[in-house]
Structures are given as structure tokens and as C-alpha cells.
């Protein structure tokens, strides 16, 4: 054992005793934490490009800024980058795939995709003990250029996207069957108007019809969990989005689907932490896409912000760990893409650990007794509790670098691997 490791263990021992005095079992918190998977998103690794070999702009209200060197351009490169990221993150986690990330050895349009294009991902996931989630890709395609897909007024275009959704559900079902864990199949579409529409009703009626067609086939919930994702607005759909929060909440509730709440998909003053306990009064399960919007849905790398901590607190305080599926959704090409994964995922795990180390039962008792003075005092004192010592110990026990030591691995990987890729001369 190194001197560094000894210091971490000594600090942990002192911190554990301090938490015990607050009525918190650190051992129980860490045991719970190691069993909480985070679904890390594949599209951070290549700026939402995918591998279909088409040259469409991603569009659909999505935009990636930056040109940092070393972007993955093949499934092999992306999987290598993911392995590096996972090696620096404590715990065992999942991967969220978009359908545009299959291995397409010939031209296959989106209404024709099948599990065959994802066998490489299935094999890789099995080898690395990673479970997969899945998303249809309703953007970056000639039939999505005018901003509408499942709610398109043209029945032919609408049917094309319905067929894509059906095909993707079948793929997700096979992914879940192969891994022995339900694959979350999440539907998000960009449909909306840039300027004020005359009819807000008609696109929503068409969307209901399209979704009902996609979900018509009964699939085993042991293999697949269907989710629908709402949004307030996007680039090019600033005035009206068909799939709003109210629309999808009603759809999920009436059709028995999971609702996906994305932290960047609401007004800048809205927070999804406040929505979790509200929607879970009616829905058995939900999905989170944890992101960080800066004034708009800009999908910045997740930081250890007040809202991130509030999201984790709501999940833990409400006893929702079995009912909330946590995924990430950001894409930043202005920094090392692997570092972005590591920073964001580690921060999500830190927030969960902080919530698990809270004396929730005591705080709830003070609140029930209307002792709001003690509640506030303890919440504030909790902020200076020795969380860092517990986090360092968890990383050490998980076999991943502590503190910022992981960054050395990233920079070495950048030097050895990323700088040797085709875009290594990019200016950043």
C-alpha cells in the first residue's frame, strides 16, 4: 500500500466516524451506490455523428460546438474511447446507444435497421459486462429536413418514421434479451414550428397516431422498457414543440410508458428535481437524461451543481432508486471528449453519494415535527461534512484514480491514441 493510499484510508476512517455521529452508515451508503448504474451516452464520443456514412447535418434542434482533436470515426475507435472512460469511473454502468451508431456495411435506410447492425455492440457489451439502452434516431436524415417526423403532415414520411420506430423497438428487445436486463428504448423527436402555428392540435393528433402504431406490438418488459421524452423548444422549433411535457406526461400515463425528463428540456428557471416526485405519484418508473443547459438546451457537461445535487437528493429521499433510471445527455467538442464523459459521470455519482450520506431520516423527522430551524441548520452543516474523504475511498476501492489523477490517464491516451487519428491537426 502506498503512502497516498494510506492517507486516503486514514481520512476515510475519520470521516466515517463523523458521519456515524450524524446517524449515517457510510458502509450502507457505499454498498447502495455501487449498485446504481448510470447510462452513459455514446454520442458524446463523436459529436452525435453516428456511422451511417451519410452527410446530413444533425439538425433537429441539436448543435455541437468545438473541434477538439481525436473524435472517434469508427465503432472500434468509439468503443476504445468508451473503455478508457469506464476504466476511470467507479462502479458498473450502462451505455445508451442511438440507432445511427450501428455497423452499416452497406446502405440500410432507417426503416430497415435490424439487430444485425448491432451485433458488434452486443458482443462488446457482453465482453465488458455493460448493459445497453437504445434510441431511435429521428434527425440527421433527408426525411427530417423540414423539422417534422412522426407528426409530419405527409403520411408517407410519417410512415417511414413509424417503421423506423418499430424497427428500433425490435432491436432494443433483442438487446435486452441478450443482456438479461431490460433495454430502455427512448423516443425523442424534434418536431415543431419555428414560428407561431395556427393549429397546435393537428400535429399532436398525428403524433398520437404514430406513437400508437410504433407501440402496437407487445414486447416483453423483461427485455424492453419504452420511454417518451418531452421538450420545451429547440433550434428551429422555438415557438412550438409537438412533444411537450404535458403531451408526453399524458401519453405515458395513458399508455403505460416511462416518461423521460431531460434537465435541459425546460425553461431555464424550471428544474427537473422538482418534477421527479410529482410525476412519480402517477407513473411507476421514469427515465432521466441529466444534462446542463446554459440559458438554453445547450447540453453542457454535467457539473456538481446545486441542481445536480437536488436531482440526486430527490431520488434518494423519495426512495426512488428502483423507479428512476439515470442516464446522461451532453455533447461538448470544445474539450477532450473522453474527459467530458468522465467528468460528467463522476459528478453524477458524487451527487448520489452526497445524497446517500445525508441523515435523511432525522431530517424528515424534524420536518414532520415542524422543527424547521433544526432542519435548516443540519442541512447547512451537512454541506461541510467530509464527503471528499468518502469519495476518494470509494474510488480507491473501485480501482479507479482518485481526485484528479484520472486526468493524467486521459492526457496520455490523447497523446498515444487521439493525436494519431485523422483529425489530429484540428485547432482547439
Q: What is the DSSP letter of 300?
A: B
Q: 312 exposed, middle or buried (CB, 10 Å; 0-12, 13-18, 19+)?
A: buried
> Tens-digit pLDDT profile for the chain (428 aa)?
798 889 999 999 999 999 999 999 999 999 999 999 999 999 999 999 999 976 677 878 788 999 999 999 999 999 999 999 999 999 999 999 999 999 998 899 999 999 999 999 999 999 999 999 999 999 999 999 999 999 999 999 999 999 999 999 999 999 999 999 999 999 999 999 999 999 999 999 999 999 999 999 999 999 999 999 999 998 899 999 999 999 999 999 999 999 999 999 999 899 999 999 999 999 999 999 999 999 888 999 999 999 999 999 999 999 999 999 999 999 999 999 999 999 999 999 999 999 999 999 999 999 999 999 999 999 999 999 999 999 999 999 999 999 999 999 999 999 999 999 976 554 44
Parse the chain into domains and list their residue ranges.
1-33+357-423, 35-345
Candidates 205, 294, 199; CA nearest to 239 is 199
- Residue found under cell 407528426: 151
Candidates 149, 167, 263, 171; CA nearest to 224 is 171
Whether 201 contacts 153, CB under 8 Å: no
Question: Among positive and negative, which fits the CA dihedral 171, 173, 178, 182?
Answer: positive
The top-level CATH class assigned to 35-345 is: alpha beta
Q: Which H/E stretch holds residue 134?
A: strand 132-135
> Residue 295: left (phi > 0), alpha (psi -120 to 50), or beta?
left
Pairwise CA distance, residues 383 & 153, whole Å: 53
What predicted TM-score, i.e. pTM, was given to this entire model? Answer: 0.96
Q: Annotated active-site positions, please?
A: 188, 229, 231, 262, 265, 289, 297, 299, 329
Q: 17 exposed, middle or buried (CB, 10 Å; 0-12, 13-18, 19+)?
A: exposed
- Residue found under cell 450502507: 28
Amino acid at each position: 500500500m502506498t503512502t497516498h493510499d494510506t492517507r486516503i484510508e486514514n481520512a476515510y476512517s475519520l470521516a466515517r466516524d463523523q458521519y456515524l455521529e450524524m446517524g449515517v452508515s457510510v458502509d450502507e451508503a457505499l454498498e447502495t451506490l455501487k449498485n446504481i448504474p448510470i447510462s452513459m451516452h455514446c454520442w458524446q464520443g463523436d459529436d452525435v455523428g453516428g456511422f451511417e456514412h451519410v452527410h446530413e447535418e444533425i439538425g433537429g434542434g441539436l448543435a455541437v460546438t468545438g473541434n477538439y482533436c481525436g473524435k472517434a470515426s469508427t465503432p472500434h475507435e468509439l468503443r476504445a474511447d468508451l473503455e478508457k472512460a469506464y476504466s476511470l469511473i467507479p462502479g458498473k454502468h450502462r451505455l445508451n446507444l442511438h440507432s445511427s451508431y450501428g455497423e452499416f456495411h452497406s446502405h440500410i435506410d432507417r426503416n430497415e435497421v435490424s439487430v444485425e447492425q448491432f451485433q458488434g455492440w452486443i458482443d462488446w457489451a457482453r465482453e465488458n459486462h455493460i448493459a445497453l439502452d437504445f434510441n431511435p434516431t429521428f434527425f440527421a436524415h433527408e426525411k427530417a429536413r423540414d423539422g417534422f417526423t412522426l407528426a409530419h403532415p405527409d403520411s408517407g414520411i410519417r410512415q417511414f418514421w413509424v417503421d423506423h420506430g418499430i424497427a428500433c423497438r425490435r432491436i432494443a428487445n433483442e438487446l435486452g434479451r441478450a443482456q438479461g436486463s431490460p433495454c430502455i428504448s427512448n423516443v425523442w423527436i424534434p418536431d415543431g414550428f419555428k414560428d407561431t402555428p395556427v393549429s397546435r392540435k393537428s400535429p399532436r393528433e398525428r403524433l398520437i397516431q404514430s406513437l400508437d402504431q410504433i407501440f402496437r406490438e407487445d414486447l416483453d418488459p423483461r427485455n424492453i422498457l419504452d420511454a417518451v421524452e418531452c421538450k420545451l423548444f429547440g433550434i428551429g422549433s422555438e415557438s412550438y414543440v409537438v412533444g411537450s411535457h404535458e403531451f408526453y406526461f399524458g401519453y405515458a400515463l395513458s399508455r403505460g410508458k416511462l416518461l423521460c425528463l431531460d434537465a435541459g428540456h425546460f425553461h431555464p428557471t424550471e428544474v427537473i428535481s422538482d418534477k421527479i416526485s410529482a410525476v412519480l405519484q402517477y407513473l411507476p418508473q421514469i427515465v432521466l437524461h441529466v444534462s446542463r443547459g446554459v440559458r438554453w438546451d445547450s447540453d453542457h457537461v454535467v457539473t456538481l451543481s446545486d441542481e445536480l445535487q437536488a436531482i440526486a437528493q430527490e431520488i434518494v429521499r423519495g426512495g426512488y432508486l428502483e423507479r428512476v433510471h439515470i442516464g446522461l445527455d451532453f455533447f461538448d467538442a470544445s474539450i477532450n471528449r473522453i474527459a467530458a464523459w468522465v467528468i460528467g459521470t463522476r459528478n453524477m455519482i458524487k451527487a448520489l453519494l452526497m445524497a446517500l450520506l445525508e441523515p435523511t431520516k432525522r431530517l424528515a423527522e424534524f420536518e414532520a415535527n415542524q422543527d424547521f430551524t433544526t432542519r435548516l441548520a443540519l442541512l447547512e452543516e451537512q454541506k461541510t461534512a467530509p464527503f471528499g474523504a468518502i469519495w476518494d475511498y470509494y474510488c480507491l476501492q473501485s480501482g479507479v484514480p482518485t481526485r484528479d489523477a484520472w486526468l493524467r490517464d486521459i492526457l496520455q491516451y490523447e497523446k498515444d491514441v487521439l493525436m494519431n487519428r485523422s483529425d489530429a491537426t484540428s485547432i482547439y
